[in-house]
Each structure stands twice: as structure tokens, then as C-alpha cells.
């Protein structure tokens, strides 16, 4: 909830309300739920838990951040870290109040990451307008979520967000072939459009493409101990992004590091290609286990093969001379 964030990919964290319900394996180590359990202790998590609106003085911070960004002639990014923007338990009134603020501060770029992408279009339509300074993202920690969440995210492209992004954090298995989600060229303005949808040479709509992909490992949250993410899972995402020119950001390695050369019996855990953890039998899975060791977040760092990955889509700053939009943002 601080003014600035040490989250590697956003300038600020800010949440219109606090509270949520765990719905996905990635939620097992929910940072916000743990924060409520320990330090803040103000909101009960879960389907019957409350969703508490943050204070009026906290909401006023947005004006200062917007003014700073305007002076710096750059868009400042804001990430809601203590809620899911498209939570079913939050009604339209609060979301409308929030979207009015989003539209009022055009130098802030909102990174709306959700585990409920199936709700995006319906809930934005309930609000009644789409602010122009939003990027939509969804979490895909495993292949199942790639198959279920990304199609919903692509539909939300019709609302004309600044870009779409996928967060594979915590990455819990290899995500396989991401080509269908990286390869589209619907993000360019060239070509034929019908009612705002780009149409390919074959007459079918061109799939939008992800404008950014993020990976990361898991950290401990109270009783929940971080699960390891193999480096070859990260590398697969990194290399596919490179092949398609998609900005790639690797947030951090979690608390585990890979030990490249080891002998059985060395300290650590064998992590198998399917994510299973344990010594097991070296012949299982063709002997394809890697040795990983818990070293903590700081020591694990965020280098992947010696490189920091900080890819972010180009989002031009809003010209300072422009007044805040009064009518812009109607749903296309
Ligand atoms: S959706 Fe996000 S905020 Fe909600 S429980 Fe899951 S990780 Fe936590």
C-alpha cells in the first residue's frame, strides 16, 4: 500500500479495496492474504470475507502521482496488489468510483492483473466506459491457465487497452508452446479493420498478441513455503518472447536456485520436469531432474543466465498540453 513499490515492474502499488478469494494454484501463496494475516490484519480473506474500500486520504495520493508523472513527461505505472480488479464479490458502484479516478489521471498507466479474466468485458461494460490508460493482464502459472485464461484476455482486447500482458508468476510448470499468443500482429494499426477488429487475409479476425510477458518464482508467505520454478521453464518463455519480439520481464527467481553440476546426495531437492519435488529415483523422467536449493529471495536474485530482463511495452507519455479527457473512453 506504500507510495512507491519494490515490485520490480510498477512505479506504485495502490488498491481501491482490500480483500479477495483464492481461486487458483497461484493464490496458494497470496502475498496480500498473508499481509492481512500478519502485519495489517484488517481484512478477512475468502468468499464470505469483506472487501474493504481504502481510505479517502489514500485515494488522494493518485493526484500527486499523476502530477509527478506529467512533470516527468512519462506514464507512471500503478499496480493494485491487495485485490483482484475483477473480483465477483465487488459490485459495480465501487468499481465505477475507481474507474472515474483512473480516467481523471491520464498520466497513470494501470496494470490490471486478474485471475478472473472472464469478468473483464462484462464488468467494464457495467461501469459504462473504458478509460484509455489501462493495460489488462492475467496470471498463467501453468498450462491449464494458459488454455483457460488467455482466450478471455484476448476478448478483452476489444476494449482497446494500452496492451495485454500475461504474468507467469509463480511459474509452476513448463508452459509449452505460446506461439498462438505471441504471434499475432493485431497490435499494429496497418491492415483491414471491421468494427475495430483487425481482419486477416483469410477473412478471419486476427488474434491480438500479448504485449508483454512476465515470469517469476514464488516466495514464502507464512506457513506457505515457496514452490521451486525450474530455470528451463523460464528459459522457454524467454526464448519464445525473443523469437516474436515480445517484451519479456523476469521479476525474480523466488527463493530457490538451480545447482548446475551436482552429485546425488548433495544438499537440495531434485525438481522433476512435471514440478514434482523430492529425491525420487534418478531414472524417473529419464533422469531429467535438476537440483535446486533454497537460498532466500535476496540470494536467488533475478538474473536469468546472467542477464536482467526488464522488457516493457513502449507506451508514449501523454503530451503535457492535453487536458484530461472529458468524453474519451466510451466502450468501442
Ligand atoms: S486473486 Fe490475487 S489477491 Fe486474490 S487471492 Fe489470488 S493471489 Fe490473492
Interval 47-60: pLDDT, tens? 777 899 999 999 99
Domains of the chain with CATH codes: 12-254+296-300 (3.80.30), 256-294 (no CATH)
pLDDT over threshold 80, residue 79: yes
* pLDDT of res. 221: 92
pLDDT over threshold 60, residue 322: no
Q: Does the beta carbon of 22 lie inside 6 Å of ligand 1?
A: yes
* pLDDT of res. 192: 80
Q: Does the beta carbon of 36 lie inside 6 Å of ligand 1?
A: no
Mean pLDDT of 112-119: 98
- Ligand 1 centroid, distance to 314 Cα (angstroms): 28
pLDDT tens-digit readout, 175-196: 999 988 996 555 566 778 776 6
Higher pLDDT, 284 or 76: 76
Best mean pLDDT range from 111-125, 180-194, 313-327 = 111-125
Q: What are phi and psi of 294, to 5 degrees?
A: -75, 125
Q: Does the beta carbon of 224 lie inside 6 Å of ligand 1?
A: no
Mean pLDDT of 304-326: 76
- Ligand 1 centroid, distance to 285 Cα (angstroms): 33
Q: Does the beta carbon of 112 lie inside 6 Å of ligand 1?
A: no
Mean pLDDT of 272-297: 80
* pLDDT of res. 282: 55
Q: Whose CA is nearest to atom 8 of ligand 1?
A: 30
Confidence of residue 3 (pLDDT cuts 50, 70, 90): very low
Q: Does the beta carbon of 30 lie inside 6 Å of ligand 1?
A: yes
Q: Does the beta carbon of 33 lie inside 6 Å of ligand 1?
A: yes
* pLDDT of res. 42: 73
Mean pLDDT of 201-220: 87
pLDDT over threshold 50, residue 63: yes
pLDDT over threshold 90, residue 263: no
Question: What is the gyration radius of the CA atoms in the chain, in angstroms?
Answer: 21
- Ligand 1 centroid, distance to 24 Cα (angstroms): 8
- Ligand 1 centroid, distance to 84 Cα (angstroms): 6
Higher pLDDT, 206 or 162: 162
* pLDDT of res. 328: 43
Mean pLDDT of the chain: 88
Mean pLDDT of 75-92: 96
What number does the ligand 1 atom closest to the CA of 29 have? 7
* pTM for the structure as a whole: 0.89
- Ligand 1 centroid, distance to 45 Cα (angstroms): 9
- Ligand 1 centroid, distance to 34 Cα (angstroms): 11
Q: Whose CA is nearest to atom 2 of ligand 1?
A: 84
165 grid coordinates: 500482458
| Helical pair 143-155 and 120-127, crossing angle rounded to 10 deg | 30
* pLDDT of res. 315: 84
Residue 224: strand, helix, or coil: strand
Q: Whose CA is nearest to atom 3 of ligand 1?
A: 83
Share of the chain above pLDDT 90, in %: 65
**∠ CA(332), CA(140), CA(137), 5° rounding?**
30
Nearest residue to 254 (alpha-carbon basis) of 229, 278, 277: 229
Q: What are phi and psi of 221, to 5 degrees?
A: -135, 95
Q: Does the beta carbon of 178 lie inside 6 Å of ligand 1?
A: no
Q: Does the beta carbon of 113 lie inside 6 Å of ligand 1?
A: no
324 grid coordinates: 484530461
pLDDT over threshold 70, residue 111: yes
Q: Does the beta carbon of 218 lie inside 6 Å of ligand 1?
A: no
Q: Are 149 and 5 in contact (CB under 8 A)?
A: no
Q: In this predicted structure, which of 111-125, 210-224, 304-318 has the lowest mean pLDDT? A: 304-318
* pLDDT of res. 2: 38
Q: Whose CA is nearest to atom 6 of ligand 1?
A: 27
Share of the chain above pLDDT 70, in %: 86
Mean pLDDT of 97-107: 97
Higher pLDDT, 258 or 323: 258
Q: Does the beta carbon of 152 lie inside 6 Å of ligand 1?
A: no
Amino acid at each position: 500500500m506504500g507510495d512507491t513499490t519494490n515490485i520490480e515492474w510498477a512505479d506504485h502499488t495502490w488498491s481501491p479495496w482490500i480483500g479477495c478469494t483464492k481461486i487458483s494454484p497461484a493464490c496458494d501463496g497470496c502475498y496480500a492474504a498473508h499481509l492481512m494475516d500478519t502485519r495489517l490484519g484488517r481484512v478477512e480473506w475468502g468468499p464470505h470475507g469483506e472487501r474493504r474500500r481504502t481510505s479517502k486520504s489514500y485515494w488522494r495520493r493518485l493526484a500527486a502521482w499523476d502530477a509527478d508523472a506529467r512533470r516527468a513527461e512519462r506514464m507512471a505505472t500503478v499496480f493494485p496488489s491487495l485485490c483482484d480488479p475483477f473480483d465477483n464479490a465487488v459490485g459495480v458502484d465501487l468499481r465505477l468510483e475507481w474507474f472515474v479516478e483512473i480516467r481523471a489521471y491520464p498520466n497513470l498507466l494501470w496494470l490490471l492483473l486478474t485471475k478472473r479474466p472472464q469478468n473483464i468485458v462484462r464488468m467494464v461494460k457495467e461501469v459504462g466506459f473504458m478509460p484509455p490508460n489501462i493495460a489488462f493482464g492475467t496470471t498463467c502459472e501453468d498450462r491449464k491457465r494458459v488454455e483457460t485464461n488467455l482466450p478471455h484476455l484476448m476478448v478483452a482486447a476489444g476494449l482497446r487497452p494500452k496492451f495485454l500482458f500475461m504474468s507467469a508468476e509463480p511459474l509452476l510448470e513448463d508452459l509449452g508452446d505460446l506461439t498462438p499468443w505471441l504471434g499475432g500482429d493485431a497490435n499494429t494499426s496497418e491492415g483491414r479493420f471491421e468494427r475495430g477488429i483487425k481482419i486477416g487475409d483469410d477473412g478471419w479476425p486476427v488474434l491480438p498478441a500479448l504485449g508483454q510477458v512476465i515470469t517469476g518464482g514464488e516466495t514464502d508467505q507464512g506457513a506457505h513455503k515457496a514452490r521451486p520454478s525450474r530455470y528451463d521453464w523460464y528459459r522457454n518463455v524467454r526464448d519464445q518472447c525473443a523469437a516474436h519480439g515480445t517484451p519479456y520481464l523476469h521479476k525474480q527467481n523466488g527463493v530457490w536456485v538451480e545447482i548446475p553440476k551436482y552429485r546425488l546426495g548433495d544438499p537440495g531437492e531434485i525438481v522433476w520436469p512435471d514440478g514434482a519435488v523430492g529425491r525420487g529415483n534418478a531414472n524417473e523422467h529419464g533422469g531429467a531432474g535438476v537440483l535446486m536449493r533454497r537460498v532466500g529471495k535476496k540470494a536467488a536474485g533475478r538474473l536469468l543466465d546472467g542477464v536482467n530482463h526488464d522488457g516493457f511495452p513502449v507506451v508514449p507519455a501523454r503530451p503535457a498540453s492535453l487536458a484530461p479527457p472529458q468524453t474519451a473512453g466510451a466502450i468501442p
